[in-house]
Chains A and B, each alone.
Chain A
């Protein structure tokens, strides 16, 4: 069994390696851009690491090899055509392979279901993507000093900025999926706020175009220069696109005294695979906050890496997941405190029902020089059904003495006493459960700055949880 899996994985790796060579040429001609060079490096890193092994510690509770077997289409059915094309697909183009899912609703258009579950911001900047690339034009008023474009465009128009940041935060040997995405991403999204650009307008990115059965590796680069302040909300709505596999890598730079407020919402279909590798690099006195909300998807793995690499950084990581059906949601975080006087606060909450699995692995690393670090972490999970599983591994790795670090993790059912309290006041059992679950989940949602997003999530949660009970 495991041998079969290994072979499958190996053949997948070989195939990907070949596809990569087809894509960028098997040998460097010496004239290559630094981008291509970094992609080659990433590919090397991936080939060396391979897919996470069965006994890999960081994938202990998320047996990827199984999924790679199940989703052998991306290894065997060669989605090479997908990699070969440059630029985004025009909307409504025919699906490239097999035609088996050729019914119009799942073919390369923005899937029909997306519209009903999408969230619209009243103002701000709006971007849509197709297979991870910008599709259409940027909607809304882009404030001066803010650049929103594709990575390709950025490499031509702002070569200096581009090369100063691209691939500088991603750590290739930390996770093979991050390396793979770094290698394959042909293009991506570039958001840059110049020095002292402060805007309350939300930059909304709707990742609402995805061809069915596709394997895409999108890339995002977000930079806030010194003193800038921006809000970015990314939304991956539910799409009827079948067994898609999105393996994305995002790099975020928060320069000195800058501030980025980031929200990521995943609501993909139940057969979708979604791997999100985020690398955040912070400068002095910077502020970064991210809310990672997972309400859909079959296998969702978030690799969230934070490097507050200067003094007095403030980092907030919040997350919420509701896992239903056979979903498997895994939040894997690393806060790497390398410099003194930083603060980080981590809070993840999960509701797991049916046969679903929730995984949380949070690591706080305090290096020897990072004195006076304050790092807090909490992970709470509610399990509603027999058959649902949760795994938590909150880690502290501390090498500095003058620090305050703590973590807490709890798992359990809904509090019987609390339900009783509500029922004693004439509230039905279901309504009581609903109240408690919503209150539990809202703790995380309440921390989102953008009101529109909050309201959208309240609705979605209400819907999701009332279906549950």
Chain B
């Protein structure tokens, strides 16, 4: 590669985080530290029923026992600095509890924040018809288009609201896909989750709008523990979007979210994510630790869950959106682009657990590493003994944009049924000099050539995103890639 492109890659790898600023909104914090009292405090703040408090406490005790056993997960290809769980405040909520009829009543400071993030809430609301349930430091601030959803019997609200209004649904489904014993961070989340989103699509309803939630981590020194629960009944469909950016920080922030999806007979769920949290500065200081447990269960026959993600942020990403294919003929999909630069570390992938007959899954993962970053794909495909005629295809491609970064692939294939067919392939390469040469020959600058090639590399995945999101994603990737060109 010529000096030019080296220069470009250098620029990319050192480009400043564009979305780093702090919104000054008064917030109410829990005292720093983690104890049963913290859990009780959060539960009381949220005015939760007794059974939920009990559930949180069980999770807390489980978490403590894991801590005592020293069972922090260390198997990923990540260097995780020791996290002091007692130095974190586990709850913060905007003090002025907003209940708005329209966005005009919203704190102008907040609206300004969204503007700077480039999220045109109003425009989206009016023109595109997306309902934005903005989560700002754990508490849901705006919910729009409720009327439209109500008409169809769709429930889409903050988790806290759902606990108050639909306790029977929460009780029935909470922890069903990700029990609090699932893993270390799921236990932590279950104990201290502050808020999140709840989505319920009744039988035979095709959700008319794309549901989206923007998560932001705002308060300095605050961990964010989001919990999302999506239940889709027989024959229904929903497309759910989740996008994130976060202000610049000097201290590490911990984020441990849980997402659970339940799809009944013939239901389909499409879950898309753009994750662009603060990745830390050039030396890897600051940045979000992102430990997420995302899992969906295809409970019913012929159901389908599809995960699409674009991961560009966080200093550490530890995330494996998974599918349990329990219903016969159910389908699981995972499409991922993970871009790392600077000193970012990502260990991300999926799990496809085939239980039902004729289940199929597809995994397409693209990793791009630059700077001094480490980017790993880790995925499990398990065909259990009952997964008659199970089918899986996995493809994991990695691209390296520099000689100081790493790209890794760790697939696990466990096949316990002879009629199952599993295929996995992976490649690792760099942007071809011949490809760049070809473009330059046709008058395309080196910068544009690299953009073009990387874009082509990810096209398959970005095409899976809903259109508005795809545009945003492509822009984000372009910005990440070369700092200034949009």
Which residues of A are interface residues toward B (Cβ below 8 A)? 57, 61, 368, 371, 381, 383-386, 388-413
- Please state if B408 and A397 are interface contacts (CB–CB under 8 Å): yes
8 additional A-B pairs beyond A396-B407, A401-B403, A410-B423, beta carbons within 8 Å, are: A398-B398, A398-B407, A405-B428, A405-B429, A408-B424, A409-B425, A411-B421, A413-B419
Question: Which residue of B402, B417, B420, B426 is within 8 Å of A396 (Cβ)?
Answer: B426
Contacts of B422 in A (CB 8 A): 409-412
Q: Which residue of A is nearest B402, CB measured?
A: A401
Asked if B401 CB lies within 8 Å of chain A CBs, one says yes
Contact of A407 with B409 in the complex, beta carbons under 8 Å: yes
> Can you name 12 A-B residue pairings with CB atoms under 8 Å?
A381-B415, A391-B413, A391-B415, A395-B410, A398-B400, A398-B406, A403-B428, A404-B427, A406-B426, A407-B426, A408-B424, A411-B420
- A371–B424 Cα distance when bound, in Å, is 25
Contact status A406-B425, CB under 8 Å: yes
Of all chain A residues, which has the CB nearest B376? Answer: A397
Interface size class of B (residues with CB under 8 A): 35 or more
Please indicate the chain B residues that have their CB under 8 angstroms from the CB of A61 in the complex: 414
CB-CB under 8 A from B403, the residues of chain A are 368, 371, 400-402
**A415 vs chain B, min Cβ distance (A):** 10
Contacts of B411 in A (CB 8 A): 392-395, 409
Q: Measured between C-beta atoms, what is the minimum distance from B139 to chain A in Å?
A: 39
Closest A residue to B393 using CB positions: A410
Q: For the complex, what is the distance from the CA of A141 to the CA of B152, rounded to whole Å?
A: 89
Instruction: Give the shortest distance, in Å, between A455 (CB) and chain B (any CB).
Output: 31
- B128 lies within 8 A of chain A by Cβ: no
A407 to B423, CA, bound (A): 11
- Shortest CB-to-CB span from A57 to chain B, Å, is 6
Per the bound structure, the CA–CA distance linking A396 and B425 in Å amounts to: 11
Q: Are A385 and B418 in contact (CB under 8 A)?
A: yes
Is B80's beta carbon under 8 Å from chain A? no
Whether A401 lies near B400 (C-beta < 8 A) is yes
Contact A57 to B75, CB < 8 A, known contacts A384-B418, A411-B420: yes
B 42-80 contacts with A by CB, 8 A: 75, 77
Separation in Å of the A234 CB from the closest CB of chain B?
30
Given A386-B385, A397-B408, A411-B421, does the pair A405, B427 have CB atoms closer than 8 Å? yes
Residues of B within 8 A of A (CB): 75, 77, 385, 398, 400-430
Q: Is the CB of A397 within 8 A of B406?
A: yes
Nearest CB to that of B396 among chain A residues? A396
- Provide the bound-state CA to CA distance between A410 and B222, in Å: 45
User: In the complex, what residue of chain B is closest to A395 when comparing beta carbons?
Assistant: B410
Determine if A393 and B413 form an interchain contact, defined as CB atoms under 8 angstroms apart. yes
A396 and B409 contact, CB distance less than 8 A: yes
Residues of B within 8 A of A407 (CB): 409, 424-426
Q: Please indicate the chain A residues that have their CB under 8 angstroms from the CB of B413 in the complex.
A: 390-393, 409, 411
The CA-CA distance from A398 to B407 in the complex, in Å, is 5
Complex contacts, B416 vs chain A, CB 8 Å: 389
Q: Is the CB of B75 within 8 A of A401?
A: no
Of B385, B415, B430, which contacts A402 at CB under 8 A?
B430
A386 to B385, CA, bound (A): 8
Report if A413-B418 is in contact (Cβ < 8 Å); known contacts: A398-B400, A403-B430, A406-B427: yes
Q: Smallest distance from the beta carbon of A3 to chain B beta carbons, Å?
A: 14
- Cα of A395 to Cα of B401 in the assembled complex, Å: 20
B426 proximity list for chain A (CB < 8 A): 394, 396, 406-408
Residue of chain B at shortest CB distance from A400: B403
Residues of chain B with a CB closer than 8 A to A381's CB: 415
Contacts of B423 in A (CB 8 A): 408-410
Bound form: Cα–Cα A384–B410 in Å:
26
Provide the bound-state CA to CA distance between A389 and B407, in Å: 29
Query: Which interface residue of B405, B415, B416, B428 has the most chain A CB atoms within 10 A?
Result: B428
CB contact between A394 and one of B77, B402, B424 (< 8 Å): that residue: B424
Q: Give CA–CA (A391, B426) in the complex, Å.
A: 17
Which residues in B have their C-beta under 8 angstroms from that of A397? 77, 406, 408-409
**Could you say which of B400, B412, B421 contacts A412, with CB atoms under 8 Å apart?**
B421
Chain A residues near B409 (CB-CB < 8 A): 394-397, 407
Residues of B within 8 A of A404 (CB): 427-429
| Closest-CB distance, A265 to chain B (whole angstroms) | 26
Q: Select one of A390, A396, A401, A402 contacting B405, CB under 8 A.
A: A401
CA distance A406 to B399 in the complex (A): 12
Give the distance in Å from the alpha carbon of A99 to the alpha carbon of B106 in the complex: 89
Assess whether B400 is in contact with A409, with CB atoms less than 8 Å apart. no
In whole angstroms, what is the CA distance A386 to B406 when docked? 39
A398 to chain B, nearest CB (A): 5
A390 to B420, CA, bound (A): 11
B398's partner among A368, A384, A391, A396 (CB-CB below 8 A) is A396
Contact B430 A386 (CB under 8 A): no
Contacts of A408 in B (CB 8 A): 423-426
Most chain A CB within a 10 A radius of its CB, from B75, B77, B398, B403: B403
Report Cα–Cα, A50/B414, bound state, in Å: 27
- Counting chain B CB atoms within 10 Å of each CB, which of A371, A391, A401, A413 scores highest? A401
Please tell me which one of the listed residues A368, A386, A394 contacts residue B417 in the complex, with CB atoms under 8 A apart.
A386
In the bound complex, what is the Cα–Cα distance between A399 and B428 (angstroms)? 10
Min distance, Cβ B19 to any Cβ of chain A, angstroms: 28
Please, how many angstroms separate the alpha-carbon atoms of A404 and B434 in the complex?
Answer: 14
Of the residues B406, B410, B417, contact of A399 by C-beta under 8 Å:
B406
Among all A-B residue pairs, the 7 with the closest Cβ atoms? A401-B400, A412-B421, A383-B418, A392-B413, A408-B425, A396-B409, A406-B427
With A57-B75, A394-B411 as contacts: A410 and B429 at CB distance below 8 Å: no
CB pair B430–A409 under 8 Å, yes or no, is no
Contact between B428 and A396, CB atoms less than 8 A apart = yes
User: Which A residues are in CB contact (< 8 Å) with B404?
Assistant: 368
CB-nearest residue of chain A relative to B377? A396
Question: Chain B: which residue is nearest A406 at the CB level?
Answer: B427
Residues of B within 8 A of A412 (CB): 420-422
Distance in angstroms between the alpha carbons of A381 and B423 in the assembled complex: 10
Least distance between A377 CB and chain B CB atoms (Å): 9
Nearest Cβ on chain A to B34's Cβ, whole angstroms: 26
